[in-house]
Amino acid sequence: MPEHANRFAWTLGGITAISFFLLIGSGILLVQFYSPMPETANQSIRTIETEVWGGSLIRGVHFWASQAMYVSALLHMIRIFLTGSYKKPREGNWLIGVGMLGLVTFAIFTGTVLKWDQEGFEALGHNVEIGSLLGGLGFWFSPEFAGQISILLRLYGAHVVIIPGIILVLVVLHFLLVKRHRMSPHPLLPAGTSTEQAAEAEPTKPFTHHIRRLVAFGIALTGILGILAVLLPAPLGSTPVPGIEITKPPWMFWWPFTLENWFGLSAIVWGELAFFSLLAILPFVDRNPKRWWRRRPVAMGVALVLLAVLVVLTVLLAVTPTEVHL
């Protein structure tokens, strides 16, 4: 592997993968004690917290690993953007990445519902309403889809099998494509073909060196998540009260919630659709062959405007009292 691929910014994809494996490991332990029934779900998490040996730590690691996966996937995507690594021939892998980001977002949403506390219940309420707004497309989210089976149980299935299963398949494809195209060349060094680094431009290191670094990062990450789990335990509210709205969703959903405050529920759908569509079309509309961010003022300008909009909408929700949402 070219030397630049061992820099921290170029290992963010690997760190995302490590967070994902930590989520699978801690998730497997949690499903042994979690009950996906509306009557018992919230209480079963309390039991995990108080009566299962190490339960609170495992739950905390699961919660913090989800945050780590989301943040590292975003930072990984920003690195790919800044180094122009989504350009030909890596457009397909960019699209797979966009799909995985959507699935990670959906996993965080379904995980929030599983707590079956006020926050989870209100998140589900939004989901059911959005489902009905989407008509036929949202049918899966309607309670009528499977009358005998509660929507909580179906979202549980999605959270523990469907979503991680699809992510796993996509991660394998993602890695195979990285192997096939090789790590993208450093944008400031002379490239050989557009696919890989010119051999003489930079020394190479064996792949095992990269893996050793990732293992070290993985151990450090596990330690950090463990400390966070002890110092800042995963949140859990009391059993939900239907018909009221008193919580805010997890922070990654704050920007669409500001849109909802302004324009109503459908703005969440349009906002998310616009965000993911913009990401998906990027490699196909940006045909500038330059890779280094300083030489791509238009792409950088558009990205900065998008980032500013997301940050402002997020901060606005942070400072808006929840009652406004009603």
Stretch 84-103: interaction string toward ligand HEM, x if CB under 6 A:
-xx---x--xx--xx-xx--
| CB-count burial class (<10 Å; 0-12, 13-18, 19+) for 240 | buried
- 105 interacts with ligand HEM by CB under 6 A: no
Torsion angle in degrees (nearest 10) through CA of 98, 299, 253, 314: 170
Tokens 């996966």 belong to 69
Task: For 273-284, give one letter per residue: b (16+ CB within 10 A) or e.
Answer: eebeeebeebbe
- 113 interacts with ligand HEM by CB under 6 A: no
Chain position whose Cβ is nearest to ligand HEM = 97
Dist. CA 2–CA 183, nearest whole Å: 8
How big is the site for ligand HEM, counted in residues (CB under 6 A)?
28
- 221 interacts with ligand HEM by CB under 6 A: no
* Cβ atoms 252, 318 nearer than 8 A: no
| CB-count burial class (<10 Å; 0-12, 13-18, 19+) for 209 | middle
Stretch 24-63: interaction string toward ligand HEM, x if CB under 6 A:
----------------------------------------
Q: Which stretch binds ligand HEM (CB under 6 A): 13-21, 54-62, 252-260, 310-318?
A: 13-21
- 11 interacts with ligand HEM by CB under 6 A: yes
Least separation in angstroms between residue 167's CB and ligand HEM is: 7
DSSP SS3 for 321: coil
Q: Which residues bind ligand HEM (CB under 6 A)?
A: 10-14, 16-17, 20, 73, 76-77, 80, 85-86, 90, 93-94, 97-98, 100-101, 104, 171, 174, 178, 183-184, 279
